[in-house]
Homo-oligomer: A and B are copies of this chain.
């Protein structure tokens, strides 16, 4: 039995924030797709033909490949966002690779079709603009973070931000992969994770990391996690809550105003 489209839409915070008429405009064009860990949504240099909205637990990342073969993560996108031509509006070559970190499903739409619909829907335009701004904020903060913070703090930040996008405290990732994403040495990361475990923040298992104490993690993380989250709340908080449904992203405080003009 094919899943109900409305149920699917509700798996992504952006899509479910749209008013019903806007949702209706999109529905006929949305396509459901399953991704496995490691699969690429698009490659650097390719024209981006689809914009994808991760559903539920699915998490993808924007990754920059370097000459020496490393591939560093630059942004994480889960059910709070969208990936693929969000800023460029499709039709331009992708600068980064998009790869699935946590497998799952996405709803995707052809970029030109989305552009078309945006012409007629201010709500959709507004929503995507707001998300673009948050995506940029996330990346800006990471530039400063990578220039300034220790691997330990960055690692904790990363774990928190993955958990924000899941609803479990068991994070499915190996040291190897995490080290690659952070752009650091695997052996050193193992030692860092050991330290965190000794401090009682996490439990390390083969292929997964279990968060034990979220408050202690937030203490140990660099400020960057909180800074980005606050920006999301300021810019998209009220939007996410607009339809009074899902209040995810583990809202810490009341969502800021500064966006009374609504969507």
Q: Residue of B at shortest CB range from A63?
A: B144
| A201 shortest CB reach to chain B, Å | 20
Looking at A9-17, A67-75, A160-168, the stretch in contact with chain B turns out to be A67-75
**A95 interface contact, C-beta 8 A:** yes
Contact A64 B234 (CB under 8 A): no
Question: Dominant SS at the A interface?
Answer: mixed
**A96 interface contact, C-beta 8 A:** yes
Q: In A245-263, which residues have CB < 8 Å from any B CB?
A: 258-259, 261
- The residue from B64, B133, B140, B142 contacting A92, defined by CB atoms under 8 A apart: B133
**A87 interface contact, C-beta 8 A:** yes
**A183 interface contact, C-beta 8 A:** yes
Size class of the contact patch on chain A:
35 or more
Which of A66, A68, A95, A132 is most buried by chain B, counting CB atoms within 10 A of its CB?
A95
| A62 shortest CB reach to chain B, Å | 7
Q: Which residues in B have their C-beta under 8 angstroms from that of A137?
A: 95-96
**A223 interface contact, C-beta 8 A:** yes
Contact B139 A140 (CB under 8 A): yes
Q: Residue of B at shortest CB range from A184?
A: B147
Q: In A115-170, which residues have CB < 8 Å from any B CB?
A: 129-130, 132-133, 135-137, 139-144, 146-148
- The residue from B67, B88, B143, B258 contacting A143, defined by CB atoms under 8 A apart: B143
**A203 interface contact, C-beta 8 A:** no
**A200 interface contact, C-beta 8 A:** no
Contact B133 A88 (CB under 8 A): yes
Contact A91 B261 (CB under 8 A): yes
Give me 7 A-to-B residue pairs in the complex whose CB atoms sit less than 8 angstroms apart, sorted by A's number: A64-B144, A88-B130, A91-B261, A92-B259, A95-B141, A139-B139, A143-B143
List 8 additional contacts besides A64-B140, A87-B132; criterion CB under 8 Å. Answer: A47-B258, A74-B143, A75-B140, A88-B136, A92-B259, A95-B231, A146-B146, A148-B183
Query: Which 5 pairs across A and B sit closest by C-beta, in order of nearness?
Result: A147-B183, A146-B146, A88-B133, A64-B144, A95-B137
